[in-house]
Structure formats: structure tokens, C-alpha cells
């Protein structure tokens, strides 16, 4: 398939295209569907929390669940993931704790980053998921460097980097893909083309016919995929992962989807795109996959109702458990830096406690910076 054609396995009606088949088992597909529904349940609840003033910031991914879950299924224990800030499903699928993800948005004592990262910038080193970077594209060269190291070690692992269409306009996109192509590093560049880089539409970002076609200049395959078709996303990622593990180098995967919601909770998309998102409602990735599963007699209405209820309950339980926890203490500013606190930091800590107290009382007049 060329980098200007688009791979699709299931249509918006849930029917398969041509003779395309999947090697996923029914259990695999049900599991993936569950992660997609959980991802949306988390997104909807967290946006509501932000609107209620209970958290300061959130980045939704509604409409992009297939791009996250279809690709994330392929990665193993030796692989390293460099995510963007719009792939919560990837974390859930990888086994991240829902409590820890919610805590990150509160920045309290249960937050693994101790409130020092941006909200929705999760970090799970034990799952080989690198902390998210807000600056667009910087993690592309990091993923390439990791993959070059994996190739040198010969451990069979690969790296995968997630970014949006806006990330292809960054300098690091060129540097990362250029070095990956030259060294044949085992890295997957997964571009979620959701049509908008905040308020800049794709046609104002590039003159290329597609984003996938940019791969040609770097000496690697470029694959364009229906990003709302979870089976097509899985198939394309599997092919790219097999190439990488076989020593054949990197692949650029362009996942065509749409950012149905705002760029973040601080954004008002109606100011620059009107009601364009309504056109994508019928292409909803969750609805499409559900129709397919029902056609294959893998899913039922009773299962659907049970899944939705359990996902909502799991999210609510996590919020209930996390929300009542206190903020990180002042002491964590010092004890969370070095394994053993050096004397000069100990002196600074004792001086701070003397003047500020031992707690961390929030300033009621402080506003979230974004």
C-alpha cells in the first residue's frame, strides 16, 4: 500500500472491507473494546471535574480511542513508549493504575510526580513509559536515541513515539526521522492526524499530499491508516513492529482521525472550526467497533450495559479514593530529589520549615497557569 492510500478493515457501519481479516481472537477484541470504553469514561469524567473546578486542567482524546488502543496492543516488556499528552488509553492498556492517573490531575500525595509535572503528563517508568513532554516533538528524537541503543544492544526491543499532526512541523520531527532512517533504528513513529494543531488546520501546516508520504524522504515506509478503525490501526502497527524487530528499520504511521473535543480544557474550538466535529459523529471509533463485534456475534447489549456501568464505577471509585488525599508535603521538595539528602538541602529544608510550617497549605487565590 502506498503512502497516499488509506488502510481500512471495518467501515463506519461495522462491515469489513474486501477480504481483510484480523488475527486477533474474540477475547483480544473484547479486551481492546473495553479499554476504548474505559478511555472515554475517564475523559468524560475528568473534563467534568475540570469544569467543576475540582482539577485545574485536562486534555481529552474523545474520538481518538482506536488510534491509542489499536496500536498499544503490540508492545511488550522490552519496548519503550514515548507518548503524547492525548493517549490516556495507551497508559490504561499498558497496565497503569487508574488511581495514579487521576492523582496526576490533582497533583496530590498519590501522584507519582508529586505535583511537579503538568496534569495528564503521566510517567510510569516501571511500565517503560517515559514522562510526557509538553513541548511539541521533543520526544521524537528521544525515542530515536532509545531505539538506536536497543539496536546496539540487540535486545529485540523497539521504541514507539506518539505525536500529532502538529508534531510533524517541529524541527525534532526532521532530526528524529532522519537519524532513525540512517541508522535503521527499531522505532515506530505514530502520528495521530486529528486535523488540528490546536487552532491550525492540517492544510496550513504542510503542502504534502499526506503526512505518511514524508517518510519517503527519510528512507522508511509511510503507512496511512483509518485511525478510527481499531483493526486497521492494529494491522498497520503490527506490520511496522515486525519490520523493526527484524532489523528493517523505522516506519511512519499516519492515523487519520479527528479531535472531536477541544485541544484542552482551556480551549474553545467553536471559535475556529464551528460545528465541523459533528461530521465525525457517525465515524465514532467506539461505535464502529461495537457494530463490528455485534455483527461477529462477539458482543451483546447486556455486555455493553455491564461494561459501561463498570467503567464509570471504576473511574468514580478512583476519584473518591484520590480526591480526599492531601497535597504533597514541603518535605517532598527535598527528599524526592536525591536518594540521600545532602547537607545543604537539609539546611534549606530546616530553614523553610521554620518559616513556612511542615504542611503545604494551598493558596486559595492561586490560579492554574493554563
Helices (H), 230-284: 230-245, 270-273
122 is catalytic: no
- Strands 159-164, 80-82: pairing is parallel
Q: In what order do the strands lie in the sheet with 187-193?
A: 80-82, 159-164, 187-193, 251-256, 222-226
How far is residue 30's CA from residue 124's CA, in Å, rounded to a whole number? 25
263 is catalytic: yes
CA angle 121–158–189, rounded 5-degree value:
60
How far is residue 346's CA from residue 334's CA, in Å, rounded to a whole number? 8
User: How far from 27 is each of 12, 53, 244, 298, CA to CA, in Å?
Assistant: 22, 39, 26, 9
How far is residue 205's CA from residue 197's CA, in Å, rounded to a whole number? 8
How far is residue 36's CA from residue 230's CA, in Å, rounded to a whole number? 10
- Strands 159-164, 187-193: pairing is parallel
Residue 267's contacts (CB-CB under 8 Å, 6 or more residues apart) are 198, 199
User: Could you say which of 40, 263, 288, 290 is catalytic?
Assistant: 263
Show the cell assigned to 203. Answer: 492544510
User: Could you say which of 51, 54, 153, 272 is catalytic?
Assistant: 272
Show the cell assigned to 322. Answer: 484520590
DSSP-assigned letter for residue 264 = S
Q: Are 216 and 268 in contact (CB under 8 A)?
A: no
User: Could you say which of 40, 86, 224, 259 is catalytic?
Assistant: 259
Q: Calculate the CA 15 to chain-centre distance.
A: 27
Show the cell assigned to 129. Answer: 513509559
Q: Are 114 and 332 in contact (CB under 8 A)?
A: yes
Question: Which residues have a catalytic role annotated?
Answer: 259, 263, 272
Amino acid at each position: 500500500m502506498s503512502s497516499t492510500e488509506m488502510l481500512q478493515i471495518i467501515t463506519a457501519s461495522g462491515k469489513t472491507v474486501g477480504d481483510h481479516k484480523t488475527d486477533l481472537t474474540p477475547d483480544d477484541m473484547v479486551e481492546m473494546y473495553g479499554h476504548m470504553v474505559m478511555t472515554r469514561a475517564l475523559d468524560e469524567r475528568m473534563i467534568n471535574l475540570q469544569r467543576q473546578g475540582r482539577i485545574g486542567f485536562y486534555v481529552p482524546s474523545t474520538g481518538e480511542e482506536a488510534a491509542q488502543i489499536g496500536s498499544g496492543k503490540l508492545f511488550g516488556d522490552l519496548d519503550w513508549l514515548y507518548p503524547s499528552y492525548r493517549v490516556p488509553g495507551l497508559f490504561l492498556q499498558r497496565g497503569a493504575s487508574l488511581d495514579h492517573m487521576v492523582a496526576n490531575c490533582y497533583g496530590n500525595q498519590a501522584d507519582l510526580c508529586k505535583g511537579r509535572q503538568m496534569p495528564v503528563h503521566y510517567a510510569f517508568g516501571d511500565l517503560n513509559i517515559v514522562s510526557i513532554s509538553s513541548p511539541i516533538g521533543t520526544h521524537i528524537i528521544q525515542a530515536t536515541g532509545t531505539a538506536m541503543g536497543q539496536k546496539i544492544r540487540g535486545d529485540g526491543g523497539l521504541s514507539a513515539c506518539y505525536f500529532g499532526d502538529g508534531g510533524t512541523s517541529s524541527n525534532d520531527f526532521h532530526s528524529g526521522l532522519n537519524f532513525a532512517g540512517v541508522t535503521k533504528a527499531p522505532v515506530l513513529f505514530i502520528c495521530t492526524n486529528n486535523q488540528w494543531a490546536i487552532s491550525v488546520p492540517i492544510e496550513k501546516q504542510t503542502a504534502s499530499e499526506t503526512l505518511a508520504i514524508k517518510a519517503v524522504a527519510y528512507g522508511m515506509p509511510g503507512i496511512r491508516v483509518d485511525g478510527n478503525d481499531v483493526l486497521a490501526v492494529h494491522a498497520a502497527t503490527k506490520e511496522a513492529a515486525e519490520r523493526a524487530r527484524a532489523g528493517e528499520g523505522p516506519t511512519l504511521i499516519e492515523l487519520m482521525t479527528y479531535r472531536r473535543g477541544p485541544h484542552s480544557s482551556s480551549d474553545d474550538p467553536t471559535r475556529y472550526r464551528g460545528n465541523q466535529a459533528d461530521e465525525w459523529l457517525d465515524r465514532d471509533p467506539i461505535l464502529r467497533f461495537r457494530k463490528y463485534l455485534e455483527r461477529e456475534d462477539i458482543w451483546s447489549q447486556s455486555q455493553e450495559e455491564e461494561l459501561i456501568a463498570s467503567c464509570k464505577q471504576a473511574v468514580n471509585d478512583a476519584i473518591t479514593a484520590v480526591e480526599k488525599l492531601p497535597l504533597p508535603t514541603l518535605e517532598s521538595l527535598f527528599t524526592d530529589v536525591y536518594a540521600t539528602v545532602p547537607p545543604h538541602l537539609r539546611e534549606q529544608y530546616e530553614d523553610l520549615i521554620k518559616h513556612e510550617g511542615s504542611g503545604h497549605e494551598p493558596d486559595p487565590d492561586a490560579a492554574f497557569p493554563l
